[in-house]
Structure 1
Amino acid sequence: MHIQTAAVHTLRDFEHGAVVPPVHLASTFELDPATEDGAYAYQRGSNPTRAQLETVLAALDDAEHGFAFASGMAATAAALSTLTVGDEVLLPASVYGGTYRFVDLVLPGRGITGRFVDDLGALTDADFTPSTRAVFIETPANPTLRITDLRRIIELAHRHGALVIVDNTFMTPVLQKPLALGADIVVQSATKYLAGHSDLLAGTVTTNDDTLAEAFALAQKAQGGVLAPQDSFRLIQAIKTLPLRLERQQSNAEAIVAHLREHEGIRQVWYPGSHSEEEARIHASQASGNGAVLSFELAAGLDSVAFLRALRFPAYAVSLGGVESLICRPATMTHEAMTPEARQNAGISDELLRLSVGIEDVADLLADLDQALAAAR
């Protein structure tokens, strides 16, 4: 089943012939007094609506198991909570600021070490120690759009007995399926492309490993960071248009990249594969598109504040993946938790702007960028 069909038809045959699933709001469920048996007992442990969403999540990722959490960071925290005292996780230096904060401030209290690597794609056997138990990958990276060779790093990590966790938020299952390449865990901020309308907070975890699945089910029940039934229903519905939305967003992004690369007001544009021919080749081998996020810097002498204030359509706001275009300054917004030195090592300058492209008419977006660049002079 193709992914657009799976997004719409994974769930079927609802009661009364309904063509959309019901929403089960109950926090508790009646059990058999004799056996205390029941498919559901308490919403934190499981809920029919969340279970339906998790079936969809697994289907999209071609996974055996799917889990829905209350936010992308709750999903990432659950994935990293598979580590124990004395373990080490390797991450890219440019990792999302929320993940950086969790690894930098929370994991040390649990006796777990995070090591940030300037170029994760250059990892070798020498980078692994007996304590290295996981590698956390973003590809494309946020916000530099650097590419990591998933097949190579997965093989390398597994050779050293380390798990591979991939944050697939930028690509979604529509464009990239890390589990099929051998990754152990995939996390996403479903707030972004899966929900797609900047009105829902959610996170997802998928895996093919039964033991890891038990750990994530325990994380839901023991830590309680689960997605509520109403939000689960809304995410089920939003996912039905994910492939269509992403197709338009990606087409718009391609046009904007081509336009900005030729604009005298732009110093540099970054997108998946832009750093080198090798990265472009790797990305093409593991993903079916570039997605709809790009980063750029204005040419010398242009006023970035004037540029941002002049924009009519991209709102100056964090997040990405919504139907509306958004623009932000990662150094002071998404990656503010990082020290200036850490941002410098990651290639995140104070002038870097990240644009998440929406579904607007691309002619309007291009005209808006042009008039804002003129105002920046």
Structure 2
Amino acid sequence: TYVQTGVGEPRKGSYDYGRTANPTREALEASIAVLENGSSGIAFSSGLAAIEAIVKRLSVGDHVISEENTYGGTTRLFTKIMSRLGLKFTFLDTRDPSEVANAIRDETKLIHLETPTNPLMRLSDIPKLASLAHDADALLSVDNTFASPFNQRPLELGADFTVHSSTKYLNGHSDVIGGLIALRDPELTEELLFIRNSSGAVPGPMDCWLTLRGIKTLHVRMRQHNANGLAVARYLENHPAVEKVYYPGLPSHPQHTLAAEQMDGFTGMVSIDLGTLERAKTLTEHLSIFALAESLGGVESLISVPALMTHASVPEERRLAMGINPGLVRLSVGIEEEADLIQDLDGVLG
């Protein structure tokens, strides 16, 4: 809390209680606004808390269209929590704008995307979907966690909200949990600030400071993540043990052209299909550099099996329909030496 200059006289007009205002948090918010070319930023205690705040703007009966292949925690938030409060959700493949257009109805207030998606690396055409949303008097929210502002800035492409789990690339050191929203509309900013203050999902100043520390090296780290991600994806694409590689930087990716249009780089996130859970376990449990762990975007390389880890809360039928099968492996390629990473993978894949 803060010592006040007089009764009902907060310091500098706003510093009365840490949940409402904090200078370190405000520095982080100013930073994400600049990185995303927005006019304001809002910090939260987690990425899910940031998404929740956007959805909390809505009222009973309002309708949300969401990309079906989102982070499992987002799917769980929408289906298990927010739907109980009277909101309606439609999950579909937002790669096809016509599917989105057909799903819009009078009650539609929000379209929520991940692009690239977690873990299948699907892309959505942000300008087209922004146009569809705005024509329907709805708003567009884009989770930009996988790309980072270094590689993609959704506000420049028409989005109303850019969301980050700042736990990931922005912090970059796997020692913080946090979320951020960047936006341009002053009224939306004030609305979300009110929701955050009322709900209490604020990050502590130390977490904000650690994230600011990480952002100082974002450009250097992302160049290496991008380079290593592409190198690992190329190696895996040519390996006979790998049935499929999901990486938008490869010309073989069905949306490579779109990726090149709306992204400046393709990140360090790579997913592969090894066919069976047994093969997935053999790889993920016997590597030396890649650590078997959830999360992503840190300087160290991580590997996981989404069906049993990050997306275990998604119903099996829905997971399989999207292609998240037990043999799918997700790699968060770090900034170690490229040759060392490939040697680590090759030592197990053979």
TM-score, length of structure 2 as denominator length: 0.95
1:357 aligns with 2:329: no
2:118 maps to which residue? 142
How far, CA to CA, are the matches of 1:100 and 1:73 in structure 2?
10
What is the aligned partner in structure 2 of residue 33 from structure 1?
7
Which residue matches 1:94?
Answer: 69
Q: Could you say what secondary structure the match of 2:54 adopts?
A: helix
Cα distance in 2 for partners of 1:354, 1:108 equals 29
Q: Secondary structure at the match of 2:271?
A: strand
Distance 1:276 1:148, change over 3 A: farther
Change (3 A) 1:330 1:278: closer
- Structure 1 residues 270-281: aligned runs within 5 Å: 270-272=246-248, 279-281=255-257
Mapping 1:112-191, distance limit 5 Å: 112-122=87-97, 123-191=99-167
Distance in 2 (CA, whole Å) between partners of 1:222 and 1:353 is: 39
- Structure 2: how far apart are the matches of 1:34 and 1:310? 61
Among candidates 47, 59, 64, match of residue 72 of structure 1: 47
Q: Provide closer, same or farther for how the CA distance between residues 276 and 359 of structure 1 changes in structure 2, counting only shifts above 3 A.
A: closer
Q: 1:307 to 1:212 in 2, by over 3 A?
A: same
Partner AA of 1:134 in structure 2: L
Deviates more, 1:335-344 or 1:121-130: 121-130
How far off is 1:36 after superposition? 5.7
Q: What residue in structure 1 maps to residue 316 of structure 2?
A: 340
Partner of 2:280: 304
Contact 1:296–1:354, Cα closer than 8 Å, also in 2: yes
Matches of 1:370 and 1:323, distance apart in 2: 21
Distance in 2, Cα, partners of 1:48 & 1:59: 17
Letter in 2 for 1:260: L
- Residue in 2 that maps onto 1:219: 195
**1:162 & 1:276 partners in 2: Cα distance?**
34
Q: Unaligned stretches of 5+ in structure 1?
A: 1-26
- By how many angstroms is 1:28 displaced? 2.6
Q: Output the CA distance in 1 between the equivalents of 2:165 and 2:196.
A: 16
Q: Which of 13, 17, 21 is the equivalent residue of 1:46?
A: 21
How many residue pairs get matched? 348
Q: How far apart, in 2, do the equivalents of 1:139 and 1:93 lie?
A: 12
Q: Deviation at 1:273? A: 5.8
Which residue in 2 is equivalent to 1:249?
A: 225
Hey, what's the Cα distance between the residues in 1 that align with 2:55 and 2:252?
A: 31
Q: CA deviation at 1:307?
A: 1.9
Contact 2:221 2:299 survives alignment (8 Å): yes
Change (3 A) 1:275 1:223: farther
Matched, 1:293 2:269: yes
Change in CA separation of 1:202 and 1:106 when aligned onto 2, cut-off 3 Å: same
Q: 2:173 aligns with which of 197, 202, 208?
A: 197
Q: Do the aligned partners of residues 49 and 311 (structure 1) sit closer, same or farther apart at CA in structure 2, a change above 3 Å counting?
A: same
Counterpart for residue 56 of structure 1: 31
On the 8 A contact 2:284/2:292 being kept in 1, the answer is yes
Residue 322 of structure 1: how far off its partner (Å):
0.4
What is the identity, as a one-letter code, of the residue corresponding to 1:364?
D
Q: Please list the CA deviations of residues 329-376 of structure 1 after superposition, one character each: whole Å capped at 9, or x if unmatched.
A: 1111111111111112222111100000001111111111011113xx
Superposition deviation, residue 120 in structure 1: 4.2
Q: Is the CA contact 2:234–2:250 (under 8 Å) kept in the aligned structure 1?
A: no
Q: Evaluate the alpha carbon distance shift between residue 300 and residue 66 of structure 1 in structure 2; reply closer, same or farther with a 3 A threshold.
A: closer
> How well do the aligned residues superpose, as a CA RMSD in angstroms?
1.8
Aligned position for 2:58: 83
CA deviation profile, 1:58-96 (whole Å, cap 9, x unmatched): 111111110111111111111121221111111111111
Aligned 8 A contact 2:63 2:110 in 1 = yes
Cα deviation for residue 205 of structure 1 reads: 0.7
Equivalent position of 1:328 in the other structure: 304
Contact 2:40 2:189 in 1 (8 A): yes
Q: Secondary structure at the match of 1:269?
A: strand
Q: Deviations over 1:174-213 (max 9, x none)?
A: 1111111111111100000011111111100111111110
SS at match of 2:306: coil
CA apart distance, 1:219: 1.9
- Are the equivalent residues in 2 in contact too, given 1:84–1:112 (CA < 8 A)? yes
Note the alpha carbon deviations across 1:210-234, whole angstroms, 9 max, x for none.
1110111112211111011111111
Gaps in structure 2 of 5+ consecutive residues: none
Secondary structure at 2:330 match in 1: strand
Partner residue in 1 for 2:292: 316
Whole-Å separation in 1 of the counterparts to 2:10 and 2:150: 41
